[in-house]
Amino acid sequence: MDEPTTDVIQGTLDMLILKTLSLEPLHGFGIARRIEQISRGVFKVNPGSLLTALQRLERSGWLDAEWRQTENSRRARIYTLTRAGKKQLENETADWSRRASAIARLLKAEG
């Protein structure tokens, strides 16, 4: 962890969760840990926001949730991406890339 940590950028948490779950089904803590790992510790997920977001995404039909035994034989709610979730992830990714490249162009612009 060589870079300073920061909270997840406003409005991107949903996308990050969907992306993480598109790799494999995970429980809540696993998702938080995975986001931190992949971002190399740049993003730190607030547990309250994460659990609320999971609740919202599940209600919207993008995730399915199920209580299961984990590999370390503890009970946990495992989240899986649904078909609708996959589609939503594609939309959000495309949208994000568009905006990110626009911002990058703006920042690179020279007088």
Partner 1 sequence: MPIWRQIVRGLRTLTNRKASDRDISDEMESYLEQASAELVASGLSKDEARRAARLNLGSPTAVREQVRSYGWENLVASFFSDVRYAVRRLRGNPGFTTVSVLTLALGIGASTAIFSVIEGVLLKPLPYPESERIVALRHTAPGLHIDDMNMAASLYFTYSEETRAFQDVAMWSNDTGSVTGLGQPEEVPAIIVSHRFLSVLGVKPAIGREFVAGDEHPSGERAVILSDGYWKSHFGGDRSVLGRRMVVDGEAYRVIGVLPPSFQFMDRAVSLMIPQRTNRANVRLISFCCQGLARMKPGVTLAEANADVARMLPMAPLKFAVNPGFGANVFAESRFAPRLRLLKDYLIGDIAKTLWVLMGTVGIVLLIACANVANLLLVRADGRQQELAVRSALGAGRGRIAWELLLESLLLGGAGGALGLALAYGALRLLTASGLEHLPRIHEISIDSTVLVFTLGISLAAGLLFGLIPVFKYAQPQISDALRSAGRSLSQSKERHRTRSLLVVVQVALALVLMVGSGLMLRTFQALRHIDPGFAGAEEVETLRISIPESQVKEPDRAIRMEEDVLRKVEEIAGVSSVAMIGSLPLDGDGNDPVYVESPAFPAGAVPPIRRYKFVSPGYFRTVRARLIAGREVTWSETYSQAPVAVISENMARELWHDPRAAIGKRIRPTLKDDWREVIGVVGDMPDDGVDQKAPGIVYWPLLRKNFESSATDETRSVALVIRTPRAGSTALLKELQQAVASVNSSLPLADVKTLQSVYDHSLARTSFTLVLLGIAGGVALVLGVIGIYGVISYSVSQRTREIGIRLALGAPLQGVAGMFVRHGMILSGIGAVCGLTVAFALTRLMKSLLYDVSPADPVTYAAVSAGLIFAAMLASYLPARKASQVDPVVALRSE
Least separation in angstroms between CB 53 and partner 1: 9
Residue with tokens 């709610």: 77
- Per-residue mark of binding to partner 1, 50-89 (x: CB under 8 A): -xx--xx--xxxx----x--x-x-xxxx------x-----
Residue with tokens 């690179």: 108
Q: Does 49 bind partner 1 (CB under 8 A)?
A: yes
Least separation in angstroms between CB 47 and partner 1: 5
CB 80 within 8 A of CB 25: yes
Strands (E), the chain: 6-7, 26-27, 43-44, 63-69, 75-81
The piece of 6-14, 17-25, 46-54, 92-100 that touches partner 1 (CB under 8 A) is 46-54
Q: Could you tell me which residues are beta bridge partners of residue 79?
A: 26, 65
The rounded radius of gyration (Å) of the Cα atoms in the chain is: 16
Q: Which of 46, 51, 75, 73 is nearest to 63 (CA)?
A: 51
Least separation in angstroms between CB 2 and partner 1: 18
Residue numbers of the site for partner 1 (CB under 8 A)? 27-30, 33, 46-49, 51-52, 55-56, 59-62, 67, 70, 72, 74-77, 84
